[in-house]
Structure 1
Amino acid sequence: MGLECGTGFCVNGLGGARLSGAVRQSARCRRSGVGVARRRRLGSGRLRMCESGPESSERSVVPQESGLRELPRKILIGISGAGLLETALLTYKKVFGGGIASLCSTAGCLEVLDGPYSTVFGIPLTLFGMGGYAAALALGVYPLLASDKKDTEAREKATRGLLVTLASAMTSFSTYLMIVLVGVIQGWCPWCFFSAALSGSMGFLVLSSFATRWKTAVTTALVTLAGAAGIFVTTPGGILDASTIRDPPPITTVSSAEALGIAGRLEAKHTKMYGAFWCSHCFGQKQMLGKEAMDKIDYVECSERGRDSQSALCKEKKIAGYPAWEIDGKLFFGEQSMEDFDEILRTGEKANDPYADLLKEIDEMEKQAS
């Protein structure tokens, strides 16, 4: 009986009763390292052939990644671009634009984007988000800049692992932030929900395209969640001390003669300053006026976790952001310079007030709601 390898498929000349012989022969063909084999039994005319091709159908097939197709890749680029613009705007407002209140005046926005949860090691979270979206945008665009099909495939293969890791990390971190927002702060933050929706969409798009890399995704998600938990547990004002009464940082500057004069005039107008212990702009305002001047001004703590909290009064006064100054019955938002105070005290108004439109919008919304 001779063994000859060639092309063909499994043929059982004797029917189902001899199928086991074909299976044994198929195994022998595979062991020999030849993808296709055929056996003839001399004189019998009966024929056995192995399945054609380099691999038998009995051998397990490893799924192949096809990469991001054209439409999903364009969607990824769009999501990343939108996220980059959002986080860039929030970062600019936080660092250079006088705070988040002009974009979002809800308590959730202020505490998440301008409070103790808004930074990690002194760096705004929005800046990390901006970097993440910028990286995702670059990884999405990179294969499209290839010179030919071979180069495109090479670039797609090189960026797959990075995309999966990045998308998993951003989705996991956004999920954790949503837990903090809903479970701890219990506030409403449209910008936060929008960013979480973008991160979640990006994660779903990438992970569904590279399903075979689920181990990388799970590992990255677990590491990210553990890291986020560790950071926020130890953050001042974080989860572990969410029920702890907090004091604002002490004022360390000495009041100038000008500041004392302004403070005396503010005191005569029954001025109140509304703020929160975590508000960096409130602290900056206090430092500008100095300790002696601030002793003349009635300070109202609006955070529920702050010392001597008067959060109910802040809600009643419709305080949309911190710091807020109530001077002679009128509200003025944001840090004020000495010139601003002088103008308000003389005229009762402030020219070019960037928060005036915000107050008008709040009044209009309340009128519509009623």
Structure 2
Amino acid sequence: MGKTRLKSRRRQDQGSKLAKILIGILATIGVIDTASITLTRWGVITSLACPGNAQGCDQVLNSPWGTIFELNNFSVPLSFIGFLGYSTVLILSIIPFFPWLTREKIDFSRIAWWSLFCISTCMTAFSFLLMGIMVIQIKALCFFCILSALISSFILLLTIIGGGWEERRDLIVRGVIISLIVLLGGLIWSSSVNPNKTEVSINSQGVSPQVESKSKPASIELAKYLTEKNIILYNAYWCPHCHEQKELFGNEATKSLILIECAQDGKNNKFELCQSKFITSFPSWEINGQIITGVKSLNELANMSGYSGSRDF
């Protein structure tokens, strides 16, 4: 009888309000963190100051593992998935406080806690997989990635502590199963994502890889025009997106561009110049004194530079 009453009380337990508030605060920080990275990758934010080692952040975020997929020169960075995850966690943490949910508040609260547990478990497991990739494969550290891993871990911890669970042992077993599934899927993804770009980032010895694509006459004309206007492309030899930008121009046109190597260990680098220009993301274009980051289509560059020649790129 006593055990039945205890289980009945636990079913009525909506969990800790303080835990939900803390989860909401952490999720907000996560949203800002991942949104900042995403907007920088999309060129909306020109630069993102990375505490400790800016080059490490760029190397991690611009690595093949930093992008989910690309379509027509538009990339969806991995940080965007993190943004969606943190946004969902934020919504789940605040919706139970809305007054119009009073009638079915207990049932909805249970669903919200279970959703928070599943999402935060997935995010934590995947974050630690990314930490391993960052250290073992990329061999660089990114402050924002470490911050995201810590935030997701604390959200998971608060969910376990504050969820008012009936049986935490069953919860942990389910958490282990979810983690194993995420890790297995993550390992498959990490081994298959963009193998060509992976070669670009790890096989070079301070020198950018050879551009393979052929240039069209209009691309060569545009490159010469950009050079005449003193428009500069800042890049790093290890950056796959820099290589992608050059491939859009082609081999012949790339030779006509003003290229500045910013990696400190790159051949003929101008690291101090890049530092003085506050170049923290690659590739970066300097157009009319303004630094614009991210891969740009040739049409975009033509529009930004005022190019009026042929656009048969």
SS at match of 2:140: coil
Number of the residue aligned with 1:140: 93
Q: 1:280 aligns with which of 241, 244, 267?
A: 241
Paired residues of 1:76 and 1:205 also in contact (CA < 8 A): yes
Q: 1:259 aligns with which of 222, 227, 237?
A: 222
Paired residues of 2:56 and 2:140 also in contact (CA < 8 A): yes
Q: 1:177 aligns with which of 130, 146, 161?
A: 130
Change in Cα spacing, 1:189 to 1:243, as seen in structure 2 (3 Å) is: closer
1:102-144 CA distance string (max 9 Å, x none): 4447222112222211112333111111111111112212221
In 2, Cα distance between the equivalents of 1:239 and 1:223?
26
Matched, 1:113 2:61: yes
Change in Cα spacing, 1:324 to 1:141, as seen in structure 2 (3 Å) is: closer
1:307-355 CA distance string (max 9 Å, x none): xx836836566564433689xxx9977579469879xxxxxxxxxxxxx
Q: Which runs of 5+ in 1 are unaligned?
A: 1-53, 343-370
Number of the residue aligned with 1:76: 23
Number of the residue aligned with 1:89: 36
Paired residues of 1:248 and 1:276 also in contact (CA < 8 A): no
Change in Cα spacing, 1:325 to 1:205, as seen in structure 2 (3 Å) is: closer
Paired residues of 1:274 and 1:322 also in contact (CA < 8 A): yes
Q: 2:189 aligns with which of 231, 243, 266?
A: 231
Number of the residue aligned with 1:293: 253
Matched, 1:250 2:250: no
Number of the residue aligned with 2:172: 214
Change in Cα spacing, 1:90 to 1:74, as seen in structure 2 (3 Å) is: same
Number of aligned positions between the proteins: 277
1:37-57 CA distance string (max 9 Å, x none): xxxxxxxxxxxxxxxxx2589
Task: Report 1:320-359 matches (<5 A).
Answer: 320=279, 321-323=281-283, 334=293, 337=301
TM-score, with length taken from structure 1: 0.60
CA apart distance, 1:173: 1.1
SS at match of 2:215: coil
CA apart distance, 1:159: 2.2
Give, as a single letter, the amino acid of the residue that structure 2 aligns with 1:313.
N
Paired residues of 1:251 and 1:286 also in contact (CA < 8 A): yes
Q: 2:107 aligns with which of 130, 134, 154?
A: 154
Change in Cα spacing, 1:77 to 1:130, as seen in structure 2 (3 Å) is: same
1:69-102 CA distance string (max 9 Å, x none): 1111111111112212222222122124276x44
Q: Which runs of 5+ in 2 are unaligned?
A: 71-75, 307-313
Paired residues of 1:108 and 1:188 also in contact (CA < 8 A): yes
Identity of aligned residues (%): 18
Paired residues of 1:169 and 1:221 also in contact (CA < 8 A): yes
1:277-320 CA distance string (max 9 Å, x none): 644355335635x543323457577779xxxx836836566564
Number of the residue aligned with 1:126: 79
Bigger mean CA deviation after superposition, 61-70 or 157-166: 61-70
Q: Give the helix-richer structure, 1 or 2.
A: 2
In 2, Cα distance between the equivalents of 1:286 and 1:231?
25
SS at match of 2:104: helix
1:149-206 CA distance string (max 9 Å, x none): 5522111122232221111001111111222223332323222222222111111111
CA apart distance, 1:261: 4.1
Paired residues of 1:118 and 1:124 also in contact (CA < 8 A): yes
Give, as a single letter, the amino acid of the residue that structure 2 aligns with 1:120.
I
CA apart distance, 1:145: 1.9
Give, as a single letter, the amino acid of the residue that structure 1 aligns with 2:65.
Y
SS at match of 1:226: helix
| RMSD, aligned α-carbons | 4.3
Paired residues of 1:281 and 1:322 also in contact (CA < 8 A): yes
State the structure with more CA Rg.
Answer: 1
In 2, Cα distance between the equivalents of 1:286 and 1:238?
13
Number of the residue aligned with 1:313: 269
